[in-house]
């Protein structure tokens, strides 16, 4: 087991390094010389030379990358041009808001998607199966920013039930926080609910044909018990690992949701940074998201083995 | 040894019978046909936009701002009096073009890399696989936003960004397919008679990995259309005053209580065209899957 985990960690390292190379190279895509932009309109040769030295632009590309990587390893992702604050500090401020949104969306997706998938598999070929499939396909096809706008129109503008925008920390006012995050969570969780429904359905269909389920039925167990105790538990395993992997997708999807509901999170920060040409922040966000994604994948792989006795035995 | 004098094993190009069978299966699949009709409808609108009797999508009319749907403007007008139906129809061009072009970019880069990785294996595979993992680690939208940000906001750059972000999916898919096909008898036979790598890859391997790539391409067009709309919504795609469904929604969001129709139609159009591609992709998968009867 330890060997398996070590192996997975070792594979993740080159991937992480490649991510850092990619993120570093992003700034090289910028048209023109960034130093000339920094030097302002005077373009004083002395200032330009000083800035080139300060930003190590005179060094070969590989050294520039290694210096940058060294800074990143020490937790220094650069400074935001707009706010003058360290990028790490900005991310640390905004990330909890996005994580709260992602967690609430995940809960919504699981509560809707998993039972719908089980029902669809158990009632395969019936009206309920078709209905669940149509809803799932719609969930995958609807652009979440449009869903958000439509919900604001219906729930906030017409019915006045929930606030259309804003954010409150759950530590300050939990009720208000729940109210402000409810619609965004539904919007962000819809596509994930549809994905979970489809995976649960196909996983359940596979399990329902397995020998042990047939045996359980042959023993005379009630259908409900067969589904709950024998089929559902086994079908849930791949769904749990998928949910872990999808958490990374939720962080990315938050970009649009936060923009629609004006939530001051990680996603809104990256969009604001793009328009303010605050490239260090954009780079920082990509790097942190990708690293998080790799770590979550790693954890999901390990979790899968830990939860699955057959896989444990095979290692 | 010249190839001409040797009876080379028949290239297993997808046999016409199999193609016909797939087409028959696809025709019988009602939801795939509904998807196909949605797609065809929007393609026709996009192609015929210049000849349809609709107002200029950029023509403003200050006397007609935010008119609700009426006989003259079937879907109403926007905040500066432009006809929404006309902008929707022209917007279909941007969306479909973005979907198709970005998938073509992803195919042009991803498939050759996947073939190389799967066919040669070893270090070539290791390097390509690790680079793919790294790109896959960056969520699609974040990567597209970052690329669009660094390349500059425009529809062309959005398409490049979306296309590059979709590359790893095609590398991985093609690689897996090639690895299973390359051990089949006809490929071994082609290798045994001394055919070159390029010929084996293009004649004996590519035609056999084509069906799952076609399915994935259809489904990725759906994702790419949403991605383009998302980038345009954020201001990183099609630039005003050129019409695009995403940017129409971004504007509509500011007039929700005064002119809700501005928000309904562009989103519904994205929904229907994406649903169309998803239904068609699912149908193609079933039709081209040899295990399905």
Query: Would you call B226 an interface residue with chain A, using a CB distance cutoff of 8 Å?
Result: yes
Interchain proximity A18–B264, CB inside 8 Å: no
Interchain proximity A141–B222, CB inside 8 Å: yes
For chain A, how big is the Rg over CA atoms in Å? 24
Give per-residue pLDDT as tens, B137-181. Answer: 887 788 888 887 788 889 998 999 899 989 999 999 999 999 988
Angle between helices A127-141 and A87-122 (to 10 degrees): 160
Choose the closest CB to A294 out of B137, B143, B263: B137
CB burial class (10 A; 0-12, 13-18, 19+) of residue B72? Answer: exposed
Using a CB-CB cut-off of 8 Å, the residues of chain B touching A149 are 249, 252-253, 256, 263, 267
* Its pTM surpasses 0.95: no
**Residues facing B77 on adjacent strands:** B83
- pLDDT value at residue B2: 40
| pLDDT higher than threshold 60 for residue B7 | no
- pLDDT value at residue A305: 78
Please calculate the CA angle B264-B267-B273 and round it to the nearest 5 degrees.
130
Q: How far apart are CA A198 and CA A113, in angstroms?
A: 8
Reduced 3-state DSSP string for A241-262: HHHHHHHHHHHHHHHHHHHHCC
Residue A2, CB half-sphere, CA atoms under 13 Å: how many? 0
Mean pLDDT for A36-56 is: 78
- The per-residue pLDDT of chain A, averaged, comes to 87
User: Which two three-digit tokens encode residue B126?
Assistant: 């290791």
Q: How far apart are CA A267 and CA A258, in angstroms?
A: 6
Using a CB-CB cut-off of 8 Å, the residues of chain A touching B133 are 15, 18
Phi (first) and psi of residue A102, to 5 degrees: -65, -40
Query: Would you call B34 an interface residue with chain A, using a CB distance cutoff of 8 Å?
Result: no
> CB–CB of A72/A280 below 8 Å?
no
| Mutation for testing the B interface, residue in A22, A131, A143 having most B CBs under 10 Å | A143
Other residues' Cβ atoms within 10 Å of the Cβ of residue B225? 31
Q: How far apart are CA A234 and CA A239, in angstroms?
A: 10
Q: How far apart are CA B62 and CA B60, in angstroms?
A: 6
> CB–CB of A274/A18 below 8 Å?
no
- pLDDT value at residue A61: 87
Coil, strand or helix: which one is A79?
strand
| Interface size, chain A vs chain B, as Cβ–Cβ contacts under 8 Å | 133
| pLDDT higher than threshold 80 for residue A283 | yes
Cβ-proximal residues to B203 (8 Å cutoff; 6+ apart), any chain: B11, B13, B190
- pLDDT value at residue B4: 40
Phi (first) and psi of residue A83, to 5 degrees: -100, -20
User: Which two three-digit tokens encode residue B199?
Assistant: 């010929």
- pLDDT value at residue B19: 66
Q: DSSP strand E in chain A: where?
A: none
Interchain proximity A143–B139, CB inside 8 Å: no
Residue in the structure block whose two tokens are 């391997």 = B205
- pLDDT value at residue B247: 92
Query: Would you call B233 an interface residue with chain A, using a CB distance cutoff of 8 Å?
Result: yes
Give per-residue pLDDT as tens, B203-216. Answer: 888 888 888 999 99
Query: Would you call B154 an interface residue with chain A, using a CB distance cutoff of 8 Å?
Result: no
Nearest CA in chain B to A285: B142
């Amino acid at each position: 087991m330890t060997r398996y985990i070590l192996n997975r960690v070792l594979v993740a390292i080159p991937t992480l390094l490649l991510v850092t190379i990619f993120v570093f190279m992003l700034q090289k895509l910028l048209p023109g010389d960034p130093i000339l932009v920094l030097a302002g309109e005077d373009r004083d040769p002395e200032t330009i030379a000083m800035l080139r030295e300060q930003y190590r632009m005179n060094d070969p590309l590989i050294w520039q990358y290694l210096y940058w990587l060294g800074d990143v390893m020490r937790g220094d992702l650069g400074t935001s041009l707009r706010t003058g604050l360290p990028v790490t500090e900005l991310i640390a401020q905004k990330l909890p808001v996005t994580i709260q949104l992602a967690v609430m969306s995940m809960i919504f997706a699981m509560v809707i998607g998993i039972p719908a998938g089980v029902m669809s598999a158990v009632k395969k070929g019936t009206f309920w199966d078709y209905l669940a499939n149509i809803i799932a396909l719609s969930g995958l096809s609807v652009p979440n920013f449009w869903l958000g706008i439509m919900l604001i129109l219906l729930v906030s503008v017409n019915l006045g039930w929930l606030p259309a925008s804003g954010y409150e920390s759950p530590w300050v006012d939990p009720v208000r926080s729940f109210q402000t995050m409810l619609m965004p969570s539904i919007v962000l969780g819809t596509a994930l609910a549809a994905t979970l429904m489809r995976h649960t359905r196909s996983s359940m269909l596979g399990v329902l044909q397995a020998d042990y389920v047939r045996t359980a039925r042959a023993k005379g167990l009630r259908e409900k018990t067969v589904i709950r105790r024998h089929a559902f538990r086994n079908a849930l395993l791949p769904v749990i690992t998928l949910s872990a992997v999808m958490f990374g997708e939720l962080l990315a999807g938050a970009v649009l949701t936060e923009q629609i509901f004006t939530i001051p999170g990680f996603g809104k920060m990256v969009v604001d940074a793009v328009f303010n040409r605050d490239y260090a922040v954009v780079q920082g966000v990509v790097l942190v998201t990708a690293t998080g994604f790799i770590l979550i994948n790693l954890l999901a792989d390990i979790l899968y083995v830990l939860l699955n006795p057959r896989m444990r035995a095979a290692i | 040894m010249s190839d001409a004098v040797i009876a080379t094993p028949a290239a297993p190009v997808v046999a016409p019978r199999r193609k016909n069978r797939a087409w028959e299966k696809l025709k019988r699949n009602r939801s795939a046909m509904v998807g196909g009709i949605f797609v065809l409808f929007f393609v026709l609108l996009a192609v015929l936009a210049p000849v349809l009797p609709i107002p200029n999508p950029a023509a403003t009319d200050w006397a007609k701002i935010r008119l609700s749907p009426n006989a003259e403007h079937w879907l109403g007008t926007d905040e500066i009096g432009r006809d929404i139906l006309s902008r929707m129809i022209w917007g279909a061009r941007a969306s479909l073009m973005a979907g198709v072009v970005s998938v073509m970019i992803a195919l042009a880069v991803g498939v050759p890399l996947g073939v190389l990785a799967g066919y040669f294996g070893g270090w070539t595979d290791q390097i390509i696989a690790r680079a793919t993992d790294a790109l896959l680690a960056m969520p699609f939208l974040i990567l597209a936003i970052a690329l669009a940000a660094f390349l500059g906001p425009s529809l062309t750059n959005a398409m490049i960004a979306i296309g590059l972000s979709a590359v790893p999916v095609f590398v991985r898919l093609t690689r897996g397919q090639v690895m299973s096909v390359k051990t089949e008898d006809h490929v071994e036979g082609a290798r045994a008679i001394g055919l070159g790598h390029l010929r084996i890859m293009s004649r004996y391997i590519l035609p056999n990995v084509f069906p799952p790539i076609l399915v994935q391409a259809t489904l990725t067009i759906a994702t790419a259309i949403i991605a383009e709309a998302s980038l345009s919504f954020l201001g990183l795609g099609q630039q005003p005053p050129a019409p695009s469904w995403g940017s129409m929604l971004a504007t509509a969001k500011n007039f929700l209580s005064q002119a809700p129709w501005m928000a309904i139609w562009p989103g519904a159009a994205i929904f229907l065209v994406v649903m169309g591609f998803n239904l068609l992709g699912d149908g193609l998968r079933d039709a081209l899957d040899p295990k399905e009867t």
